[in-house]
Amino acid sequence: MKTVSTPPNPKLIPDSLSFSLNGAAQAVTMVLGGTALPQALAHVFARSEALPQARGAIQDIAYRTMRRIGRVEALIDVLTTKAPEPVLLHALLCCALALVSDPDESDGPPPYNEFTVVDQAVTAAAGSPDMAHAKGMINAVLRRFLRERTALLQQVLQDPVALLNYPAWWIAATKQAYPQNWQAILTAGNTAPPLSLRVNQRKITVEAYLAMLQAAGIGARQIGPVAVRLDQPLPVQQIPGFSDGLVSVQDAAAQLAVPLLDLHDGQRVLDACAAPGGKTGHILESANVDLLALDSDAKRLPRIEENLERLQLSAKLKSGDAGKAGWWDGRPFDRIIADVPCTASGIVRRHPDIRWLRRKADAAQLATVSALILDNLWRMLGPDGKLLYVTCSVWPQESEAQAAAFAVRNGAVRLEAPGQLLPTTSKDEDHDGLFYALFQKPSSAQ
């Protein structure tokens, strides 16, 4: 199958739905070829003349599609006699079906009239040399879906992959880990995520910031000590005070990390897996510490720098492997936060592509890497020092089982911490699935 993405077609009008469908189909094509959705979108935007509004529409369609790809691929199987080729055509059908096929509207009402979607999907195909041959097929498939929707959905939704929109192995793993509430966890992962902010206590109180939002006509509520959730997500440029560092975008569960560290002015702190710097900024907002922000990916360090510049805060930044000691000057740290690389199975509502890009063996492989990181960092922690282990996973292998094994291996004292937080989307509690374990080194330790 041909997987190359073609540049956005000049024949399509840049603010039309056909243009957005074409852009979203290109991004989805790249995801089906193994690229993460944010990188795929960045690639599409770099090659297109999409204005900000069209970029928003392309992004929205691509995310909606990834939240339903199990279902729409099952529909395509039933609605076509042979697999649509090239992959771009398959992806265009996925995007169009994603806009018309949602019976539960888990991420908001459909944004477009159904017949407009059909018409614009046909226009998108007609405007592309790779797909023009199939415009009749697209028209026929989408119109048949609209006519026979109830029966077709009833047929495909028998399959859990189409119903729940996760790979079969992911569904089985969630069921095994959470026999009571696996469905709620999977359902939460299919909702559109809220936009949650962390209020910078150095600059403004939560009350004053809420008043600022109200004055700007933006609905919001407090959902954590310094966490505010907007009623409707907004581009960051439109969030009052964002560019001045009054707030940062951060999920409410992620905001629990830094208070657990029990920071005091003057401490020597290591943020061991720091990029893009969400928790780095929170650490510096909370206390005047001597902070080293480390990440193994040197290309991600500028992201931390940008975040800190916006907050007008600073830390030492270094690229290095937290599982090795080459970058360490030998002086022990008072506090270490290890927000390790993981499957990200707890943040799938923000990254609906992850479940399709991961493989079953990834959790075990990543847990091995995290164990090396934790054991290495433990040696760098001073007596009485605290190490906070964080993952954005819901798999026990990467969370509780890992924490328990680490404590046994190292004689670490386990302190009170939230443990496994499952993703939740209630009115007052709305956060991702994160895991926290806090360890203290005995005072007699070397």
Is 94 part of the annotated catalytic residue set? no
The neighbour count for residue 446, using CB atoms within 10 Å, is 7
55 binds ligand SAM (CB under 6 A): no
Least CB distance to ligand SAM at residue 355 (A)? 17
Smaller CB distance to ligand SAM: residue 87 or 283? Answer: 283
Least CB distance to ligand SAM at residue 326 (A)? 11
Residue 86, preceding bond cis, omega within 30 degrees?
yes
Smaller CB distance to ligand SAM: residue 134 or 388? Answer: 388
Q: What are phi and psi of 311, to 5 degrees?
A: -85, -5
d(CA 308, CA 50): 29
Angle between helices 114-126 and 87-100 (to 10 degrees): 170
Smaller CB distance to ligand SAM: residue 7 or 259? Answer: 259
d(CA 211, CA 218): 10
Choose among 66, 132, 128, 115: nearest CA to 95.
Answer: 66
149 binds ligand SAM (CB under 6 A): no
279 binds ligand SAM (CB under 6 A): yes
d(CA 161, CA 316): 46
d(CA 320, CA 225): 33
Please pick, from the candidates 278, 346, 382, 423, the single residue that binds ligand SAM as defined by CB under 6 A.
278
Least CB distance to ligand SAM at residue 198 (A)? 11
Please pick, from the candidates 14, 38, 233, 276, the single residue that binds ligand SAM as defined by CB under 6 A.
276
Residues 290-319 that bind ligand SAM (CB under 6 A): 294-297, 300
Please pick, from the candidates 173, 263, 275, 308, the single residue that binds ligand SAM as defined by CB under 6 A.
275
Please pick, from the candidates 194, 241, 277, 346, the single residue that binds ligand SAM as defined by CB under 6 A.
277
Choose among 303, 352, 304, 281: nearest CA to 70.
Answer: 352
Which residues, listed in sequence order, are joined to residue 338 by a DSSP beta bridge? 389
**Within 13 Å of residue 251, how many CA atoms lie on the same side as its CB?**
21
338 binds ligand SAM (CB under 6 A): no
The pairing of strands 430-431 and 381-391 is: unpaired
Total residues interacting with ligand SAM, rule: CB under 6 A: 19
Smaller CB distance to ligand SAM: residue 70 or 281? Answer: 281
Q: For ligand SAM, which stretch binds (CB under 6 A), given 158-166, 236-244, 277-285, 413-421?
A: 277-285
Please pick, from the candidates 92, 274, 367, 381, the single residue that binds ligand SAM as defined by CB under 6 A.
274
Q: For ligand SAM, which stretch binds (CB under 6 A), given 1-9, 118-126, 144-152, 269-277?
A: 269-277
Choose among 56, 52, 43, 58: nearest CA to 4.
Answer: 43
Least CB distance to ligand SAM at residue 338 (A)? 9
Smaller CB distance to ligand SAM: residue 142 or 263? Answer: 263
If DSSP codes are grouped into helix, strand and coil, which group holds residue 196? strand
Write out the two tokens for 320: 């290095």
Residue type, 230: L
d(CA 99, CA 112): 7
Q: 3 near 105, Cβ under 8 Å?
A: no
Smaller CB distance to ligand SAM: residue 299 or 427? Answer: 299
Least CB distance to ligand SAM at residue 256 (A)? 12
Least CB distance to ligand SAM at residue 294 (A)? 6
d(CA 244, CA 354): 32
Q: Which residues bind ligand SAM (CB under 6 A)?
A: 272-279, 294-297, 300, 321-323, 339, 341, 373
What residues are annotated to the active site? 392
